[in-house]
Amino acid sequence: MKTLFSRSFIATIVALALLPLVLVNDFLIDVSIRVMLTAIAVIGLNILMGFAGQVSIGHAAFVAAGAYGSAILATHLNINPIISILVAAVGVAIFAWVIAKPILKLKGHSLTMATLGLGIIVNMILINEVNWTGGPDGMPVPPVRIGDFAVIRPLHWYWVAASTLIVSMWLSLNLFDSPAGRALRGLNGSEMAARVMGVDVGSFKTRAFVVSAVFATISGSLTAHYLAFVSPVMASFTHSVELATMVVLGGMASTYGALVGTALLTTLPQLLGGFEDFEMMFFGFILMVTMMFLPMGLVPSIARIIERRRAR
């Protein structure tokens, strides 16, 4: 199990390193950068949803908070984007921790409902605070600079996105097989059992929420600097549902699943091009079909089939 994991991880690194050789044009590079940057947020959301079983349908709020946070700090306060990305992450972490405490005291689906509310509030703030955010039209974002060197070329961005993705995956894979990861998965499997075994359930849910928010923030900040532009669409309910669908389709608690789910749901709409109005229907349909036929999600289901073949 352990060696299989690290083998898959090395294979992922090699694949990401070789991928630019086959990406013949800027369009394909652009799509893969978007996939990788989004996957960072989905890997984080998977820690909350897949590991801990706490569903968030407002995670786009954190992606947007990272995007706008870094954009505003860099534009209005002239802060170096590398620092503004980190400041946004720390700020959102504190914010997520503060709001998680009271929300998680409530029982049942309160977290899901609260994240829905959060998404709507953040979206409204971004649309209304025109002086800071540019309102519904969005705002331009300065490029990331290291000294005199500005990261603008697609291939440079490819390496930034790929290395951040690899680090994110590494963190998530490590967490899965750690005492904290087992505590999170345990409270998902049986909250009663986890409590009796000494797991402070509220604290672990809070920490999973904060960690997933930070992943979303980093993803949002990088995406904003890559696109050189942000708009409130980033915080939309549709985007939140998209992120959650990516987790479910790829496979609950599976880090590779998060990447596969993101890749499929980012590239498929590109192929469907021109059907933009049907996007929401498309995600709803995928979510429904996954729930009906692959309740565990793609990667865990395929892994199980392979395991059974081997066992024979």
Token pair belonging to 226: 């890559």
Binding mask 123-162 for other proteins (x = CB under 8 A): ----------------------------------------
Token pair belonging to 192: 């009663």
Stretch of 65-73, 174-182, 227-235, 276-284 lying at the interface with other proteins (CB under 8 A): 174-182
Interaction of residue 183 with other proteins, rule CB under 8 A: yes
Interaction of residue 175 with other proteins, rule CB under 8 A: yes
Q: For residue 143, give the DSSP letter.
A: P
Among 45, 122, 194, 260, binds other proteins (CB under 8 A): 194
C-alpha closest to that of 157 among 215, 113, 223, 220: 223
The C-alpha R_g of the chain, in whole angstroms, comes to 19
- Beta strands 229-230; 139-140: pairing state: antiparallel
Among 34, 205, 207, 239, binds other proteins (CB under 8 A): 207
| Residues 272, 188: Cα–Cα separation, whole Å | 36
Interaction of residue 189 with other proteins, rule CB under 8 A: yes
| Residues 264, 222: Cα–Cα separation, whole Å | 21
CA angle, 274 then 222 then 87, to 5°: 140
Among 4, 10, 130, 192, binds other proteins (CB under 8 A): 192
Stretch of 19-27, 107-115, 135-143, 200-208 lying at the interface with other proteins (CB under 8 A): 200-208
Task: Cite the beta strand spans of 5-152 per DSSP E.
Answer: 139-140, 144-146, 149-151
Token pair belonging to 133: 């955010």
| Residues 40, 35: Cα–Cα separation, whole Å | 9
Among 108, 198, 273, 274, binds other proteins (CB under 8 A): 198
Binding mask 56-95 for other proteins (x = CB under 8 A): ----------------------------------------
| Residues 68, 126: Cα–Cα separation, whole Å | 8
Among 21, 196, 271, 292, binds other proteins (CB under 8 A): 196
List residues near other proteins by CB under 8 A.
170-172, 174-175, 177-183, 185-186, 188-190, 192-201, 207-208, 211, 252-253
